[in-house]
Structure 1
Amino acid sequence: MTEFVLAENDRYWWPVVVLFPDPEKPGSFVEQKLSMEFELQERDDYIKSRKLVAEMTDPEEIVAHEHAELVRLSKNWSGVVGKNKEPVPFTEAALRAAIQKPWFRTGVYRAMNEAQSGEKPRLGN
């Protein structure tokens, strides 16, 4: 059994699955994988953030808040390459560019929420 480590800033690596539209098979997806290093969002901070979003009425403001939160909690990535298969270093600018792509954004948000919940994903749902 592994001991529980109570750290001031909990960081962890988590697998991300991105479903990218298959350029060769219309209506199909290609599964692409990477890993992200996230910092834990503590419960009080999460609740405060959700309350703030609930009070927002402008969709652009909500998206900006959620993107800023993702950028704040994302610390690194692995398995991200460019067109020529060269590794793309993690930077805030690179992350902000990547989350403009809906399939990347969806995969990263799904992974972060799964990891932050502390529960394994339910299969079949």
Structure 2
Amino acid sequence: MAQSRQKSYSDKRHRDLEFAVGDRVFLKVSPMKGVRRFGVRGKLSPRYIGPYEILERIETLAYRLALPLKLVSVYNVFHVSNICKYVHDPEHVLVYEPPELQEDMSYEEFPVMILAREV
């Protein structure tokens, strides 16, 4: 009885995750505690990497992702528990402005913003 009661509590919050081909998702770097994957180490390292595009749905719970060349040694099919939906945010886009080079191939550095100040 206790097990069925706990199952009913869990089923109220349970939702099936489904992604479509072409969606962008984040990939979980370390699915289990103590397991290091993709060469990412340390407790301050990011938990998710990406976003990556879904190429195809293998089965109900497996998806094939388009990984970059630096992750060529990683198998590109992942369980749905290891991916997280990416919601597009304009703040995620980084604007790259190349430095203005002088004739002697040097450039001038200057601070963009002061974040904190101590007196």
TM-score with structure 1 setting the length: 0.26
Q: TM-score, normalised by structure 2?
A: 0.26
